[in-house]
Structure 1
Amino acid sequence: MGLMTDVLDWLQALPQPGLVAATGGLVLAECTIGLGFIAPGEAGLLVAATTAITPTRFLVLWGVVTLCAATGDSLGYLIGRRYGPRLRETRLIQKYGVGGWDKATGILRRRGAWAVFFARFLPVVRTLTPAAAGTSGLPYRKFLPAAAAGAACWSALHIGIGAALGEAAKRLESAMSTGALAVVAAVVAAVVIAHVVKKRRAKATPATAVEDDLEPVA
């Protein structure tokens, strides 16, 4: 049995409640403004989705992730209602997402609640749209159905992709020769090393706490 298959089998053998709860927590954090730049919710969901090998597992993971994503969006909306346009001037938005914030507010002006639904599928914009919706004054009764529908479609799509990738990885590993596996392993290692180097360079400047980032720039 290969390494890839061993890892997938190990994930699938984990206690399902704990794995689902951890995934839901990551997604909730990613969907809340300020944490979406830190928590790897989408990546965690794809990994957990490789365990969705039965209809029951798929539905449970889908239900929890949908609920957590909609809850995170609602928290972002409430933050937007609380702080209003000042959010754009905070250190967090200035550092990570001014372009995404402006894009989110522009889409909201043109599309209203539809923007909330479609923004769910756009990185960065996904995290900022709920707060922008709260800031723009979009009624919550219109925001929530759009956010919930977007969360349901987004989670189903990613769980389906993750489950398919997990199955494909097992089949690919069983069909590949040892030499081909070594090439794949080398490519994966190069990608991981490049990602780590990029991350370390980005952290060269001392990081500021999220609470400080939410303070308006003087």
Structure 2
Amino acid sequence: MVTDILNWLQSLPQPALVGATGLLVFLECTIGLGFLAPGESGLLVAATTAHTVPRFLILWGVVTVCATLGDTIGFAIGRRWGPRLRETKLIQNHGVDAWDRATGILHRRGALAVFFARFLPVIRTLMPAAAGTSGLPFRKFLPASFAGALSWSALHISIGVALGEAAKKIEGAMSTGGFIILAVLAAVGVFFFLRWRKKRAATPKEETDSTV
């Protein structure tokens, strides 16, 4: 079944699959939508189809650009609304702790925080807006965001490719093992059936001999 799903994904038009993945990543990287759009999960699923160099490079480029664009919008939102974002219902319900952690890391690490936050769930969604709120210059934010998106997407696509290949091998091994088990069970069943028939065939002869 896993192989069938992976084969189905690989049969989808590449532009549609890559475009949908890029959209999910873009939405995840935009503040607020990151709590709803499963960008990371979508990327891992799509990455299982990136088993050739061209597919890998295309998906890598699109996801990197979409993630950077999403971060840029988040940064602009933070610059526009400032610290008031922390008091919004969305942040209060889903990410006050993450927001405080993001702003704390920003004050200590500056642009480096933007890079490393890319690898942290939830904080990844809030960091761009927090960076805009903190007053971090855009000329420092953008390179850090792009470098983080580039590294993060490469890592997750590589993981997705490895998972896809591993899933196929595991399913293949399980299928082979299943056939082996069935063969062994069949052989055991045949063995006992033949033994039972032999015993039954010998019973009348033994009864005849005892009567004589």
Secondary structure of the corresponding residue to residue 58 of structure 1: helix
| TM-superposed deviation, 1:178 | 8.2
In the other structure, the counterpart of 1:108 is: 106
Distance in 1 (alpha carbons) for counterparts of 2:6 and 2:155 = 20
Secondary structure of the corresponding residue to residue 36 of structure 1: helix
In the other structure, the counterpart of 1:71 is: 69
Secondary structure of the corresponding residue to residue 34 of structure 2: coil
TM-score computed with the length of structure 2 as normaliser: 0.83
CA gap 1:178/1:91 in 2 versus in 1, 3 angstroms: farther
| TM-superposed deviation, 1:179 | 8.5
Distance in 2 (alpha carbons) for counterparts of 1:59 and 1:94 = 38
Secondary structure of the corresponding residue to residue 176 of structure 1: helix
In the other structure, the counterpart of 1:189 is: none
TM-score computed with the length of structure 1 as normaliser: 0.80
Structure 1 residue 97 corresponds to structure 2 residue 98: no
Identity score, percent: 75
**How many residue pairs end up in the alignment?**
178
Higher helix share: 2
Please provide the CA RMSD for this pair.
1.1
In the other structure, the counterpart of 1:147 is: 145
Gaps of 5+ in 1: 181-218
In the other structure, the counterpart of 1:166 is: 164
Gaps of 5+ in 2: 179-212
Q: Which runs of 4+ in 1 moved over 3 A?
A: 177-180
In the other structure, the counterpart of 2:81 is: 83
1:71-129 CA-to-partner distances (Å, cap 9, x unmatched) read: 00000000000000000000000000000000000000000000000000000000000
1:126-169 CA-to-partner distances (Å, cap 9, x unmatched) read: 00000000000000000000000000000000000001000000
